[in-house]
Every structure is written in C-alpha cells, then in structure tokens.
Amino acid sequence: MKKVKMILMSTLVLITALSPAFATGQQEAANSDSVNLVYWSMWNETEPQAMVLKDAIKDFEKMNPGVKIDVQWNGREIRKTLQPALDAGTKIDIWDEDLERIVKTWQSYALSLDDFYGKAYPSTNGKTFTDTVMGSLQTLLRSFSSDGSLYAVPYQPMVVVVFYNKDHFDKAGITSTPRTWDELLQACSKLQAAGYTPITIDDAYIDLPLGMHLNRMYGNPESVEALVKDKTGNLWDAPEVMQTAKDFEALAPFMSPQVATNKWPAGQQEVATDQVSIYLMNGTWLPNEVMGTTGPDFRWGQFPYPAVTGGVNNNGGTYGAQGFQINKNCENPELAFALLAHLTSGKWDKELAAKTYGAPMDTSMPWPSQIEECRPIFESLDSWIPWSGGLAADTDAFPVIKAEYTRLLAGQITADQFVRNVKSALK
C-alpha cells in the first residue's frame, strides 16, 4: 500500500509539473480552488470579435481548470459606463476599448504592465511577450501614458490608408500605386478615361485627407492644431494652407458626384458595388465592414497617403489598436495578463485576425489577404499622426472647416474661396 501511495504521489507531481496551469503567469490559478476574473468588453456579443473572444476564453478556461472568466458584453456603451462602475467599486478585472482612449482616460485605474511584458507565455513560443507583439504599438502605448509605462495590451492593430479596387486599376492600365499627389491625379485621370468614377469618401472620414495633407505640409500635428485654434485667421494665409487647398481643388473633378451628400457608409458602398475605384482614406476595418456586399474575393489594394509637393513629413501615418487594461486592484494580475497574452498572441490572435479580416498583433502571424498590403505600410511609418491630424483640436472650428472642405472636395468652391470662407468663419 505504501508503494502505491508513493507512485500516486509521484504521478501527481509529474502531472502538476506538466499542467498548463503552471505556465508562466498562471501560478495563481494553480494555487486556488477557484479563481474568477471579470471582463467588461467593448464588443456586442454577436459581433465577430466577440465570437472569437468567447471561443478563446473557453479555451483558456479549459487549459486552466478552476479559472472562470465572467464576461459582460457592454458594446460601445462602455465609454459611458466603465468609469462610474470603477468609481463605485464594481469588481472589474479587465476591460477594453480604443488604445489611446483607455490610456489617456483610465490610466489611473489601470495596472502598469511592464514586468509582465518581459515574461514568456504559452502562446509566445518561448519568447517574451514584448518580443512577440508589434514593437511600434508598444512605443505608441508608452507615448500615451504620463510616465512612459505600459498600461495596456494592444490588439487588433489598425492603420489608415487609401483603398482601391485592383481590377479597376488593371483595366485602366495603372501598373503601380501612386506615391505622390501628382501620381494620384494621373491615376484618377486614367480611371476616368477607362469609364470609372475615380474616387470617393464618406462624411465620417472626410476630414482625414485634409488633416493628413496638412501634416505632410507642416510636418507635425501641433502646427495643424495651432492653425485650427487661430482666432485671428492670420495662420490661414500661410502658403502651406493655400497649397493644400489647391491640391484638393485639382482632385475635385475626379470625386464622386455624391461626395457632398455621402453619409457613411454610402461612399464605402460606392466602392464595394464597383461604382467607384478608390476610397480616399479609411482604416483596415473597411473590407470587413463591406464584406456582406463584396464577399471575400473582392480584390482590395492599399497604398499610403501620397507624398505632397513641398511636404516635410511624407512618411507619417495614423495608426493604433484596441487595447485591454487590467485593474490596478485586480487580485490575480498574473492570471489576468496570462489571459491577455492568450488572446493577443499565437493561435487566437491569428483567429481573431482571420475572422474579422483585421490585422494580427503577433508579428509571426499572417495578415488576411484583403489587407495584406497594409502590413508594409504599417511597418514603414516613422511617426504617428492623430486621428484627423489635429483638425479636431478646436470643437467650434472643426465643423466649420469640415463643411467648407467638403464643398471644396465636391467642386462647389475654389481653393481661394475655401481659405477665405474658413478665415471669415473663425474670426
């Protein structure tokens, strides 16, 4: 009997040693009969992202007997409901939302994760987490925080680019994507000659090209923010502003006749239904948003926003991600980070990218074919430009500028009129 007991004890030790629960970051689970984590999600339960996350969480629970992840699917309402719940002391171990927003808004509620990034996890194939996921987003994440620490785990990276229909480009005889503004105009001319409406955009994104163009001209978003906040109007006399306006005046004849009235997603549907060749600027989520119209075989292409004549920063771009945070009061932070590593690297990061036609966070994973040209664009960017490029820095000026720019892009006013109208409205 004593010998049997010794064999059982030896077997138990061996099983325990090999158990996934003893993988890095999961010690707490092994030391407790039952561990519960609460995750407040930004997704609605029926969204593709939520469906993948549910399967990944079930897999994590299976790997870690005794661990239970309670998920509350909040949808985008989490922007309003999370902070009051945290202030009220509600048990919330993990939450997610836009990466920039969560760090700049909820850093004080979140745990610094630098030490966790330096460890290996079952899904990181022997490497540390920091060596597994995109370094550019770690750098960006540090820039958002007040002390340069890592207060989140990014996932679902995104980059804002120009989308186009490869079939249209082939039929118009366009053999390379435009690298400069002049080349974009030449491509539009060829598309028009081939019988296509060259280019469109929606109201939801129409400010992005103007913000990016001004950033190309000035080299930084701070100058664009100063322009928007200028109550004298004097900064609008700068040659960079007039050159920008003239460039869009030249693009206007190639725009969809619907551009002035396009309410999202009407412009996206113009491209998805083969009516228009180019969507001027959108995020990597575009193919997924119109997948119901295009199907998976639509031949999407992407290129970065073109360089502009006289530009001083032609290699910056708008990029980011969704992000998870861990509550600084979480009682099981090692386990919580192990879950986030499980979701954002290896098998489930790949699955999330594939099912949502999005970008993976793990640098060893392939990008979906619909956005594969975004990968080298993302990797080549050397500076970060905020959403709208700084145009939204003044909430009173922003709608005025956006309205006049829409009229300029639609060919309803000239470049001179655009500058004059904006100056007059902002004074």
Report pLDDT digits (tens) over 214-242. Answer: 999 999 999 999 999 999 999 999 999 99
Q: Between residues 24 and 264, which one has the greater pLDDT? A: 264
Instruction: Compare 202 and 28 and report the one with higher pLDDT.
Output: 202
Number of domains, the chain: 2
CB contact set of 89 (below 8 Å; sequence gap of 6+): none
129 and 165 part of one domain: no
Residues 413 and 285 in one domain: yes
Q: Is residue 328 part of a domain?
A: yes
Instruction: Looking at the structure, tell me whether residues 191 and 100 fall in a common domain.
Output: no
> Are 77 and 173 within one domain?
no
- Based on the number of CB atoms within 10 Å of its own CB, is 262 exposed (0-12), middle (13-18) or buried (19 or more)? buried
pLDDT computed for residue 99 by the predictor: 97
pLDDT digits (tens, 9 = 90+) for 102-138: 999 999 999 999 999 999 999 999 999 999 999 999 9
Q: Report residue 260's pLDDT band, with 50, 70 and 90 as the boundaries.
A: very high
| pLDDT of 33 | 64
From residue 165, alpha-carbon distances to 211, 306, 359, 373 in Å are 24, 17, 20, 13
Same domain, 259 and 403: yes
Q: Pairing between strand 197-200 and 276-283?
A: parallel
What is the spatial distance between Cα 7 and Cα 424, in angstroms, rounded to a whole number? 88
Whole-angstrom Cα distance, residue 207 to residue 135?
28
The reply to whether 251 and 363 lie within a common domain is: no
pTM of the model: 0.88
**The domain spanning residue 266 has which CATH number?**
3.40.190.10
For residue 273, what pLDDT is reported? 98
The per-residue pLDDT for range 63-116, each reduced to its tens digit, is 999 999 999 999 999 999 999 999 999 999 999 999 999 999 999 999 999 999
User: By the 8 A CB rule, do 28 and 35 touch?
Assistant: yes
Give the domain extent around 88: 35-158+319-383
pLDDT at 18 over 70: no
